[in-house]
Chains A and B, each alone.
Chain A
Amino acid sequence: MSTEAPIYGLLAEFETPEELVEAVRRARGAGYRKMDAYTPFPIDGLAEELGFHENRLPLVVLIGGLVGCAGGFLLQYWISAIDYPLNIGGRPLNSWPAFIPVTFELTILVAALSAVLGMLGLNGLPMPYHPLFNSPRFALASRNRFFLCIEAADRRFNRESTANFLSELKPKGISEVSSA
């Protein structure tokens, strides 16, 4: 292995999700923290194995929904009762039951937009370039292979020892991911 150029991390390739989950569990046990797993479909419990617990997305969506709801109602109230009041036979200006459909639609609209933009934002997407795309094997992460990448930024990372550790997990292959 060359030790000249800086690398992003070491990438181990597995054939089944079970092997990957087991590898992540053992890497956590060995003290590695800066790592991520890459899979062609979502695998239950994998994020938890990686030590990922916070999930702020539901809160983002809740806030979005409340903003849509309040904004939608206030828009109609302000227009119908304050800025452009129409006196039609003395009927109430704040005819709130008639405002419910639009309030509801705007609640859904803003909540849905928050769900999508929140998911992308928290995931740091769009990110068209990423060091992992330097690895030729990585294209299979969107087909049928399961990858574990221990990043060079990890405190315990060492090219030799980490590579040895990964090979103990019996992956199908290990490769270095260049950082540039």
Chain B
Amino acid sequence: MSQEIIGPGHTYATVTDKISSIVLTRKTSLGWLAAFGIAFMFVMLLFYAVTYLFVEGIGIWGVNVPVAWGFAIINFVWWIGIGHAGTLISAILLLLRQEWRTSINRFAEAMTLFAVACAGLFPILHLGRPWFAYWLIPYPSTMDIWPQFRSPLVWDVFAVSTYATVSLLFWYVGLIPDLATLRDRSSSRFGRVVYGILAMGWRGSAIHWYRYDTAYLLLAGLATPLVVSVHTVVSFDFAISILPGWHTTIFPPYFVAGAIYSGFAMVMVLSIPIRAVYGLEDFITLRHLQNMAKVMLATGLIVAYGYLMENFMSWYGAVQYDRFTTLNRWIGPYAPVYWALIVFNVLIPQVLWFKRVRTNVMSLWLVAMAVNIGMWLERFVIVITSLHRDYLPSSWSMYYPTVWDWATYAGTIGLFLALLFLFLRFLPMISIFEMRTLVPKSEAE
């Protein structure tokens, strides 16, 4: 039973009805309202923190020379990394013909979109004069100046905006046939009109399906190198600089692996409660959770190898500044953060080697939560420890986040969850048409 990717006894009709009824049911449950309300309060906190930031400037944050990159960059990298699992699940696993991806891909793609939305806020807020963010776009301005295309920060603008756009397209194309299902099954006129407009008149013609499959496959093929490039470019923000601890060639692969690692952890953290609340154990089975746990274990080991090589290279490279940065991470003022990162990201996930852990929903959730915390700590270590003690001891200093740093961070978590709750309420969280293809032939009808 645990090896199935869809529960027994399902037909085309039951799969359709089960998933669409979550959206089409008239009554909004009190639990949803409460959860959305709490998330919405954090969205208000975000607005408050951002408004105060715009009024006062980034002096309200803990950043100062030499640590000019604080929470904003940590959170940017953390959020964008979380997004990567969505694209990985929907694109790479599609190309690899992993059928088990079907019930989690829609949900993971939505997670990607919302995570990228949260990530995209931070670099803009971090600009100091965020109202000039549009200067990053190459347009013929009256000032007669252009962006500097040799800077990784400009690459980042293109990478993240392309990533957001392609993720949105991929998600929307996947939704079109399901929006048609909702249009046809909605009992209210309002629902029929709204879902009808969004479905664009999809009628399931065989010829349309043929082109649709081609487009979907091509999008997957395009998104696969894209997802690798995005976190590579993010890592260039660090690796292209000459700062000890940042200037290493291992950054791109190690960032990409870390992104997938944290993304799968986030999918796990979200899908475990959701499948319980909405009774979707038939569609998101233990096999899905086990497979995700294995991906986490594999990418976690790549990340651990990255830590190991970072340390090895700082010794083997025989550059005194690199050696100092490593020692400073081990025993310097931020050492507790470094060792917490090792515990959360390297040691705790090793329990996933045991099948007993992989088949226990509660322990999986706890491990995934540990990885999410660990990956955030990793970005803290990378950003802060390299900056706070660089080449010139006279400029050394400490970085302490302020209440506004925390408020903005908590606010984006609220924004992420609020968007996610809206998605769960108004759109099918599992791809209905792809689930139909998983219905065993004998059970079809």
Residue positions of A touching B, CB distance < 8 A: 15-16, 36-43, 46-47, 50, 52, 55, 57-58, 61, 65, 75-76, 79-80, 83-84, 86, 95, 98-99, 101-102, 104-106, 108-109, 111-113, 115-116, 118-120, 122-123, 125-130, 132-133, 138-144
CB interface residues, B 112-156, toward A, < 8 Å: 138, 144-150, 152, 154-155
Closest CB in chain B relative to A51 CB, distance in Å:
10
Say yes or no: B206 contacts A61, CB within 8 Å: no
At the interface with chain A, which of B56-64, B179-187, B380-388? B179-187
Mostly helix, strand, loop or mixed at chain B's interface? helix
Q: Is B177 in contact with chain A by the CB < 8 A criterion? A: yes
Query: Contacts A108-B225, A115-B222, A143-B181; is A79 near B149 (CB within 8 Å)?
Result: yes
Say yes or no: B162 contacts A47, CB within 8 Å: no
Query: Contacts A40-B433, A55-B214, A80-B150; is A115 near B158 (CB within 8 Å)?
Result: no
**Nearest opposing residue in chain A for B214, CB measure:** A57
Q: How many of B's residues come within 8 Å of A, CB to CB?
A: 64
Chain B residues within an 8 Å CB radius of A38: 203-206
Max count, chain B CB within 10 A of own CB: residue among A36, A75, A113: A36
Say yes or no: B206 contacts A37, CB within 8 Å: yes
Say yes or no: A16 contacts B444, CB within 8 Å: yes
Partner of B146 from A83, A120, A123 at Cβ < 8 Å: A83
**Nearest opposing residue in chain B for A39, CB measure:** B204
**Lowest 8 CB-CB distances: which A-B pairs, in order?**
A126-B200, A119-B215, A144-B12, A47-B210, A127-B201, A139-B184, A42-B209, A101-B155
Query: Contacts A111-B222, A126-B200, A142-B180; is A79 near B146 (CB within 8 Å)?
Result: yes
* Cα separation A76 to B444 with both chains bound (whole Å): 55
Q: Is B166 in contact with chain A by the CB < 8 A criterion? A: yes
Query: Contacts A36-B206, A109-B165; is A98 near B149 (CB within 8 Å)?
Result: yes
Produce 1/0 per residue, B340-377, CB < 8 A to A: 00000000000000000000000000000000000000
Say yes or no: B162 contacts A50, CB within 8 Å: no
Q: Is B229 in contact with chain A by the CB < 8 A criterion? A: yes
Say yes or no: B180 contacts A50, CB within 8 Å: no
Closest CB in chain B relative to A32 CB, distance in Å:
14
Say yes or no: A143 contacts B16, CB within 8 Å: yes
Q: Is B293 in contact with chain A by the CB < 8 A criterion? A: no
Say yes or no: B437 contacts A52, CB within 8 Å: no
Query: Contacts A16-B444, A50-B206, A144-B16; is A112 near B223 (CB within 8 Å)?
Result: yes
Q: Is B275 in contact with chain A by the CB < 8 A criterion? A: no
Produce 1/0 per residue, B431-445, CB < 8 A to A: 001101100000011
Partner of B222 from A40, A42, A108, A130 at Cβ < 8 Å: A108
* Cα separation A143 to B439 with both chains bound (whole Å): 13
Closest CB in chain A relative to B159 CB, distance in Å:
5
Max count, chain A CB within 10 A of own CB: residue among B17, B433, B434: B433
Chain A residues within an 8 Å CB radius of B236: 101
Chain B residues within an 8 Å CB radius of A50: 206-207
* Cα separation A57 to B212 with both chains bound (whole Å): 10
Max count, chain A CB within 10 A of own CB: residue among B144, B146, B202, B207: B207
Max count, chain B CB within 10 A of own CB: residue among A55, A98, A130: A98
Q: Is B304 in contact with chain A by the CB < 8 A criterion? A: no
**Nearest opposing residue in chain A for B197, CB measure:** A128
Closest CB in chain A relative to B196 CB, distance in Å:
6
Partner of A142 from B145, B165, B177 at Cβ < 8 Å: B177
Q: Is B226 in contact with chain A by the CB < 8 A criterion? A: yes
Q: Identify 14 new A-B residue pairs, CB closer than 8 A, beyond the known A108-B162, A143-B16.
A: A37-B205, A38-B206, A41-B177, A41-B437, A47-B206, A65-B222, A84-B146, A105-B226, A106-B158, A119-B211, A119-B214, A125-B200, A128-B197, A130-B203
Partner of A102 from B154, B183, B202, B213 at Cβ < 8 Å: B154
Q: List 19 A-B contacts (CB under 8 A).
A: A36-B207, A38-B203, A39-B206, A42-B213, A65-B222, A84-B144, A95-B150, A101-B159, A105-B226, A105-B233, A108-B225, A111-B222, A115-B215, A119-B173, A119-B211, A123-B205, A125-B200, A125-B201, A130-B203
